[in-house]
Structure 1
């Protein structure tokens, strides 16, 4: 058994400011640069969290006069990836004038409506018709009387901010450099409190926001950035001197299973979990089992600390009121006991969430959000996070990782505290947060769907993988040629700007598509590939098999017995093996699914010289009907029957193209490129159809995508021809 220990966690951060990179940049470009630096390290700032600002003199587009403009990160932006359009611009004086407006709203005694009313006033302060909606933290930046302001959520600072003795620790660490403001929800009132605190403490360089984070300032942007790092490092130094090492979180109570063993257990339980939390909306999962995470989950105090939930608003929005902690002993309990505990734990979590919602909601509440957890902690195994796509589940893992670091620090120097359930509710169901969710674009057709594409290394499978990603799908690209599968994944990820599909050996860190090797004639290979898909994403919803084999005849036109066997092994039995193994995942999930098998027009059109291929595809057609019966009612099974697709097909290497051109007595030049020869052959095949157009990859992909989607939700057991109109293949 493996014991996870982390002796030291808190580290210093180094300045990445490069004078040459900012030379000649305008003020907004410098703000973007500073923001990107602060957002590049999750230890400093979470994805989508924190904000930065600059007060700049600009020419009023109407009067031509110089006016002070606040440029601040807009609502929904992310510091790491922010560009100029992600920043809102507002007249600074108009923002200051809103203080009198707020005083009138505040006199009603209703804080939340007053805050909401002020947010409605921000558009009236917009400079130069900038369409970017301002952040709710805009007043924090406006009311601080300095040109440059950084608001971040550094792990070491939040550790101090959430400790029950945080204010005392702040004074011990920083002396009079910083002031303290008790927890307040972000918004106008907090901005006024910061202004008041600065007036009462002249000369301070920043403020620690209780339970929340850090805000600091300067009249020079580089100095502001480097001050942020300096303050973070002071807290990190203090915590590194006091952290408890192996005794963090009360010491270790459980031991981790060896990595391969725990991945085996996870691959079995993930579909079980995913099915139970996806009854309202499907979720994509991420596993995290690094040493820091395991040390927390395996600790004596983890159940109690997890129950407290998080404190920082950014953490809470992602991780919900609290994670679900499963009290399973990996040394003394088996997988069936674990599954039982997961089921009962999820049931209790949902009941707790409903109680929290009902107790904290006002008379006219918003509709209750999904009551399932987004973070699940299991001793010996790791943390499982869930989101509507892979990116969101990874960000949720990032947030709770920060929360683990926060608890580690706070518990080393005091006692960790979290915000009250009412405060948590008021943030989760804040009208501004609900409005932000409503502004998000509608989800794509295949959002939340995990699709395994078998044969994705080339041809139809490669084109299909790209098509599914376009529609919001999460794709596992499988192929006999693992390098080709990985190439498909890498090319697609490069196109959508998400880097490489598999980072090192840790497949759980994958993006929206991964590349895996898989021999569908080998059951163990299929099992291993599907295991990796489940580890990467939590389950499987849909499967498209585009892999196929055309046995090449000998010189005399015959096909050997071995080639016959191979043809049926790939084109028939391989599809059966894939369906048989995915069926186990589908059964565990108990969710709707779909499978599409690529057969061929040859399945119903007898031809000289391709008997082995044609009869295997005919058998595949009937396999589709058998599988449709077996997997009903949850899973639909259909087929797509293309006529010969030459474009990009691995079944049409140069030698076969030349052999076919020779067979059909078509003139060609052997010096021509393979693509030219393929086009000539494709045109010949097109001439035999009613439409007289070549069969293209995209047409096959569109048919498969449509069958996988809800467009054919009541179609199963059928084969859709995409053959240009072959009269010999007409239904009869």
Structure 2
């Protein structure tokens, strides 16, 4: 199959072809006969799905679905049975693999029509529609655990072997035009039919079946306000038909689009990139705090020329207020975005903050009115009334989600909506889904049930954590621990390559490509690598601004960076070594806290900071004066910061005994010197890690537990202090030293 990195590159290339002058483009067929030669039909279905899902111009993440009807051996009777393989609930075409597809007996699905009609005749249409999804489980082939999607009937009831349902921007532009059926006729003639908007499900499947019966010879159907569905009896032919139908709509729109006059032309000009970044770094933490009053969010900024063309336009306020049409869109973007009525050429940052606050208040009131107007007695409770998409003239679009991935998808969905509105307004008038229909989708009992089935969020979900010193040692080990708990991590290190390597290792492990701060304003993943010298205030400022641009703000900080100054051959430390020790171990921690405090104040959200000190801070001994006294000062700095940062932000410390494992403070020569000093047997042929293990074992003999101090133990202590487990603990230093009696409090 096409690998993830190839898909990301392909998507990036596709985006480059859309400009403010010419948005609509041709889609090339990517089908490779050699790639699928000898593959079974299910493997070919996965391949076809990945191709269609690899371009957001064709299909949004998680949207659309594909299917194949395959003859399979019944595990009970041993006879051949027709089985529908269809993308399962919650799947994504771009990343789908075989386990993402549901399998159902085709004949049993067709038999459900009789049950549906019997229930429908009682006048209970909505209960009938909803109850059908429960019946799909009775049609499951071979105990497949993948739940079928609500679109299963669309694929089952179409009398062809292969079906593609996609959400292409050019086709939805036609599907949302007020004269859509006429435009469809002009573009496709008699080869495509039209079905007015219907909520996805059983009734729509029946309508498609009826439309095909009444229009023999058609190749596809445009679903009003929704998308495209087409079919064939050969899977390659079905895929290439999808491409052909999309390109016909794109051709038509390309010939008619208004270029730089789209959306009524420009009303505002964008700020230049440098100024945009300066304004965003100041505004984003405030904005994040405002939208996170009920649920905390992670942000994604999109400020490409095409997006800004829409936001800066005369018609943007009108079109934004209409909201989106495709149901997959507004499930992510809510009923509409918040358009911030700010003039980038005249307004100040303080004006912008005031306008945001006023706009959010109005948005919440509108959302509550929307909910109360359209709800019924069985409706779930109102969800978070804050917007997930915010449009600011001159700056761009800020999308929000519970994690980085979700906020990127939200941005992707509204990007598609912008393209849809551009096309529709070029040839007609754009129409959004009626509010009641939108509400019925957003608060559909089946959608609510899906939300209720989702596992509880992880401890650090929705939180952005800066790990300082993440290029090696404790910091590098801590990053995956925090991500495993749902955290969004910025890996900071003096060594930029080491920081980026930590990020890359993690992103490769979770299949998300590379995240490097500053490489793409919207392209970071759940972890980014950032260069940062904590002794340099300007470097710290830039690093924190990189994090704000990547994620919208910062919640927690873990400082694991430290410096152990190496004495000269005579065991002496020069003045510069003393200065460097205090600059890193004391002043550096203060600079980080001082700079991030502005972000914390703007967000007005709870936060936490953990500083790694050392058991040496309370154990007097000869030979490491500068290190030990600097760590002692760091202990007291923690207590001072805890007072200064209260009540919203907690500040604590972790005091390990010597952690040799993976530490940049223990290069090979220092380890050998220490082993020699303590008369521990070793061979110079041994690897650095083997030598480190020997030194760690020696240090363990000086503790009460007699066990080496590990990275994992330090990470667990830091994680615990960042988490809610210690939500009432601040100003304390937790020793993780194996039991050094010399370090006992006295």
Q: TM-score, normalised by structure 1?
A: 0.98
The 8 Å contact of residues 59 and 67 in structure 1, kept in 2 or not, is answered as yes
Aligned twin of 1:66: 80
Alignment check: 8 A CA contact 2:168 2:246 kept: yes
Q: Distance in 2 between matches of 1:187 and 1:342?
A: 39
The Cα shift of 1:225 comes to 0.4
Name 1:304's counterpart in structure 2: 318
Please, which moves more after superposition, 537-546 or 97-106? 97-106
Please identify, of 101-110 and 190-199, the stretch whose mean Cα deviation from structure 2 is larger.
Answer: 101-110
Specify the alignment match of 2:574 in structure 1: 560
Give the root-mean-square deviation of aligned CA atoms.
1.2
Aligned to 2:359: 345
Q: Which moved more, 1:190-199 or 1:663-672?
A: 663-672
The equivalent of 2:385 in structure 1 is: 371
Q: Which residue of the partner structure matches residue 3 of structure 2?
A: none
Specify which of 3, 6, 17 is matched with residue 31 of structure 2. 17
Q: Which residue of 2 aligns with 1:433?
A: 447
Moved more, 712-721 or 109-118: 109-118
| Deviation at residue 607 of structure 1 after TM alignment | 1.2
Deviation at 1:509, TM superposition (A): 1.0
Secondary structure at 2:522 match in 1: helix
Aligned pairs for 1:198-277 (under 5 A) are 198-277=212-291
CA distance in 1 between counterparts of 2:233 and 2:385 reads 46
Aligned counterparts of 1:584 and 1:142: Cα–Cα separation in 2: 57
Corresponding position of 1:548: 562
- One of 590, 597, 607 as aligned partner of 2:604: 590
Match in the other structure for 1:579? 593
Q: CA deviation at 1:62?
A: 1.8
Q: Does structure 2 conserve the Cα–Cα contact (< 8 Å) formed by 1:317 and 1:428?
A: yes
Q: Which moved more, 1:241-250 or 1:18-27?
A: 18-27
Q: Report the Cα distance in structure 1 between the residues aligned to 2:250 and 2:612, rounded to whole angstroms.
A: 57
Q: Does the 8 A contact of 1:243 with 1:412 survive in 2?
A: yes
Partner of 1:44: 58
Equivalent-residue separation in structure 2 for 1:364 and 1:96 (angstroms): 30
Check conservation: 1:385, 1:394, Cα contact below 8 A.
Answer: yes
User: Would you say the 8 A contact 1:5–1:246 is kept in 2?
Assistant: no
3-state DSSP of counterpart to 2:280: helix
Q: Is 1:524 matched up with 2:538?
A: yes
Secondary structure of 1:363's aligned partner: coil
Would you say the 8 A contact 2:517–2:550 is kept in 1?
Answer: no
1:663-682 alignment to 2 at 5 Å? 663-682=677-696
Whether 1:496 and 2:510 are equivalent positions in the alignment is: yes
Q: CA deviation at 1:508?
A: 2.9
Q: Distance in 2 between matches of 1:545 and 1:159?
A: 50
Tell me the alpha carbon deviations over residues 110-163 of structure 1, each in whole angstroms, 9 at most, x when there is no partner.
432221111111111111211111110111111111111100000000000001
The residue number in structure 1 matching 2:742 is: 728
Moved more, 138-147 or 385-394: 138-147
Q: 1:712 is matched with which residue: 717, 723, 726? A: 726
Q: Deviations over 1:536-574 (max 9, x none)?
A: 001001000000011111222121111111111110011
Distance 1:132 1:568 in 2: 57
> Gapped runs of 5+ residues in structure 1?
none
* Counterparts in 2 of 1:671 and 1:57: CA distance versus 1, 3 Å: closer
Q: Does 1:104 align with 2:113?
A: no
1:535 aligns with 2:585: no
Q: Give the CA deviation at 1:504.
A: 7.3
Structure 2 counterpart SS, 1:478: strand
CA contact (8 A) 1:46 1:399 kept: yes
Aligned partner of 2:497 in structure 1 is 483
Alpha-carbon distance in structure 2 between the residues aligned to 1:145 and 1:597: 65
Mapped partners of 2:310, 2:122: distance in 1: 45
Once residues 219 and 142 of structure 1 are traced to their aligned partners in structure 2, the CA distance between those partners, rounded to angstroms, is 14
Alpha-carbon distance in 2 for matches of 1:481, 1:465 = 16
Q: Answer yes or no: is the 8 Å Cα contact 1:10–1:240 preserved in 2.
A: yes
**Is 1:86 equivalent to 2:127 in the alignment?**
no
Post-superposition Cα deviations, 1:214-258, rounded to whole Å, max 9, x if no partner, equal: 000001111000000000000001100100000000001000000
In the TM superposition, what is the alpha-carbon distance from 1:503 to its structure 2 partner?
8.0
Is 2:414 aligned against 1:400? yes
Match of 1:461 in 2: 475
Aligned residue for 1:17, secondary structure, equals coil
CA distance in 2, matches of 1:97, 1:696: 61
| TM-score, scaled relative to structure 2 | 0.97
Residue 735 of structure 2 aligns to a residue whose secondary structure is: strand
Partner of 1:383: 397
Go from structure 1 to structure 2 and tell me whether the alpha carbon gap of 1:62 and 1:669 turns closer, same or farther (over 3 Å shift): closer
Q: What is the 5 A alignment of 1:416-455?
A: 416-455=430-469
Match in the other structure for 2:525: 511
1:175 aligns with 2:186: no
CA distance in 1, matches of 2:32, 2:94: 16
Contact 1:541 1:586 in 2 (8 A): yes
Secondary structure of the structure 1 residue equivalent to 2:361: helix
Query: Which structure 2 segments of 5+ residues have no match?
Result: 1-17
Q: Does residue 1:323 correspond to 2:350, yes or no?
A: no
- Deviation, structure 1 residue 355: 0.5
